[in-house]
Amino acid sequence: MHHNFNFKDVLSSSYRAAWQIEDVLPQDAALDFGRRFLPENLARVDDIAFLSQEEKKVLNQIRGHEYLSIFGLVEEFILPFVLDHARPQLDGDDHRVRALLNFAAEEAKHIHLFKEFHRRFTDGFGTECAVIGPPQAVAAEVLRHDPLAVALAILHIEWMTQSHYLDSVRDDREIDPLFRSLLKHHWMEEAQHAKLDTLMVETLAEGRDESGIARALEEYLEIGMFLDDGIKAQTGFNLDAFEAATGRRLTPDERTELEKQQHQALRWTYLGSGMTHPKFVATLAAVSPAARDRIAEVAPIFC
Ligand SMILES: [Fe+2]
Ligand SMILES: [Fe+2]
């Protein structure tokens, strides 16, 4: 056993960490468009030599918009998955039932919060930013996979939000305070989700032989490739929004360079930072050392 998580303890820490949307986003609060929204570790705009400081700030804010949108999108498949996982266990352990239903309720709250933030962004930014989707289609594609593969993808997402906050946001005093508070509050509740997801992965892996695990892992990678296609398309939308917001026409060479560089930044944000998270890797290793090795082999592409 590589952890000491259990449903009862996770449930009580969930109740201690819980917040209301109004605490994070008060009625009169506005985003400060004079600041950046995402930490540089995720945005990766500073090294683009041909952009001005102002242009880097705008691209960073568009990345912030994308973060709100992509999280809204992934949480739309997490919610039904957790409900489906809870449903057959309603007669079982009471702590487990309550912890899973609370998990689902928190994700519904996060979807709501991300939408509200998105609305404030749109009100203040002034330029339309396109987003991949629709969320229902993304959810349908992800959820058609083996439940163990989906649970691994969700575990990856939960740990990824932990590292976004702890490694990049917590000590960053430059980014917009409201955005920082969003990432902090999301982190607070996701910390419990990561533990619940670990328990879900273990339940779903139970009794599978090595080939059953290997098949699920390949499906997890398929979900990853599907999301990678999505974020590649999103990179193009971000650059369209950048040109519209700044009025700058990128030359074909600049556009090609930015597409490549920013696609990699999105890969790190949504794929690499989850796949390489030590806790995600530890759960994989506990399920199957071969699975851990397979992921270690492909992860550098997404970092
Ligand atoms: Fe969430
Ligand atoms: Fe979550």
For residue 173 the two structure tokens come to 């005093």
Q: What is the pLDDT of residue 2?
A: 82
> Residue 228 Cα, ligand 2 centroid: separation in angstroms?
20
Of 53, 76, 227, nearest in space to 139 by CA: 76
User: CA 174 to CA 168: how far, in whole Å?
Assistant: 11
What lies within 8 Å, CB to CB, of 112 at 6+ separation is 21
Q: What is the pLDDT of residue 251?
A: 98
User: CA 205 to CA 196: how far, in whole Å?
Assistant: 14
Q: What is the pLDDT of residue 1?
A: 62
Q: What is the pLDDT of residue 129?
A: 97
For residue 181 the two structure tokens come to 């508070």
**Whether the predicted pLDDT of 134 surpasses 90:** yes
* Interval 197-224: pLDDT, tens: 999 999 999 999 999 999 999 999 999 9
> Residue 46 Cα, ligand 1 centroid: separation in angstroms?
28
* Interval 177-197: pLDDT, tens: 999 999 999 999 999 999 999
DSSP assignment of 173-195 equals -SS-HHHHHHHHHHHHHHHHHHH
> Residue 198 Cα, ligand 2 centroid: separation in angstroms?
12
Please give the average per-residue pLDDT across 95-112, as a whole number. 95
* Interval 20-60: pLDDT, tens: 999 999 988 999 999 999 999 999 999 999 999 999 999 99
* Interval 140-185: pLDDT, tens: 999 999 999 999 999 999 999 999 999 999 988 899 999 999 999 9
Using the 8-state DSSP alphabet, how is residue 103 labeled?
H
The pTM for the full model equals: 0.96
User: CA 264 to CA 193: how far, in whole Å?
Assistant: 27
> Residue 190 Cα, ligand 1 centroid: separation in angstroms?
6
Please give the average per-residue pLDDT across 114-125, as a whole number. 94
- Residue 108 in 3-state DSSP? helix
> Residue 45 Cα, ligand 2 centroid: separation in angstroms?
27
